Amino acid sequence: MKITWLGHSAFRLDIAKASILIDPFFSGNPGFGGLDAKEAAAGITHILLTHGHGDHVGDTIALAGETGATVLANADLASWLGSKGVPKIEMGNTGGTIGFGGFTVTFTNALHSSAQITEDGVSHALGNANGLMLHFDDEPTLFHMGDTDIFSDMGLINELHQPEIGLVPIGDRFTMGGAVAALACQRFFSFQTAIPCHYGSFGIIDQTPEKFVAGMDGAKTKVETPKAGVSLSL
């Protein structure tokens, strides 16, 4: 599996049978910086969304139209995206699992909100925030936590799914901060690799992963902090 962080909470996953974008927030994302959006989305087959906030839905509508990628989102968000002309949609909700041939995605709980005020000034209720658990045929299980605080049922999520790779929000203010995120990883999960996200973009959230890295000191989990646009092979 090749994992590429694209700033904020956006990731690209490349496996043998699919190329996946999660929360593709490119336009207006300070963390995306000078990366090439066309290159970041080249050949994608799927777009997966954790929730309906603009910094996670991002460029989904345009990318889905340009690439023909299938978009997976919670039922309310998926319906709204369909009304915006997204052609290929799969919907689910908390606890549900959707298969795509080569991998499955399960919606987990996340402690966050999901409504969005769009350009027309209207507030749209776009379902609940979720984490996304990805099981692959021939790759390690990966958990994108979405935007969330720590919660004790993370232990049950780990018991059910045993994720090996964690994509962990650490930026504080809108999610758990780095120290609490490290506690979540050490107390509730047995990740082989953890990659922090949701930091280093907007000025009102943490700009570095230092608190998370410090909190993970001595843990068995390997912490990777790649620069945006740099790929890891796991």
Q: For each of the domains in the chain, give its residue range(s) and CATH number, in order of start.
A: 2-233 (3.60.15.10)
Q: Does residue 137 contact residue 17 with C-beta atoms inside 8 Å? A: yes
- Report the SS3 class of residue 106: strand
For position 139, what pLDDT does the model report? Answer: 97
Q: Does residue 145 contact residue 167 with C-beta atoms inside 8 Å? A: yes
Q: What is the DSSP string of 103-137?
A: EEEEEEE-SS---EE-TTS-EE-----EEEEEEES
For position 32, what pLDDT does the model report? Answer: 94
Q: Does residue 24 contact residue 6 with C-beta atoms inside 8 Å? A: yes
For position 121, what pLDDT does the model report? Answer: 85
Euclidean distance between CA atoms 2 and 114, whole angstroms: 29
For position 119, what pLDDT does the model report? Answer: 77
Element (H, E) at 143: strand 142-144
pTM (predicted TM-score): 0.98
Residues 6+ apart with CB under 8 A from 160: none
CB neighbours of residue 204 within 10 Å? 10
Per-residue pLDDT of the chain (234 residues), as tens digits, is 999 999 999 999 999 999 999 999 999 999 998 899 999 999 999 999 999 999 999 999 999 999 999 999 999 999 999 999 999 999 999 999 999 999 999 999 999 999 988 878 889 999 999 999 999 999 999 999 999 999 999 999 999 999 999 999 999 999 999 999 999 999 999 999 999 999 999 999 999 999 999 999 999 999 999 999 999 999
For position 33, what pLDDT does the model report? Answer: 84
Is the C-alpha dihedral spanning 98, 228, 233, 159 positive or negative? negative
For position 122, what pLDDT does the model report? Answer: 86
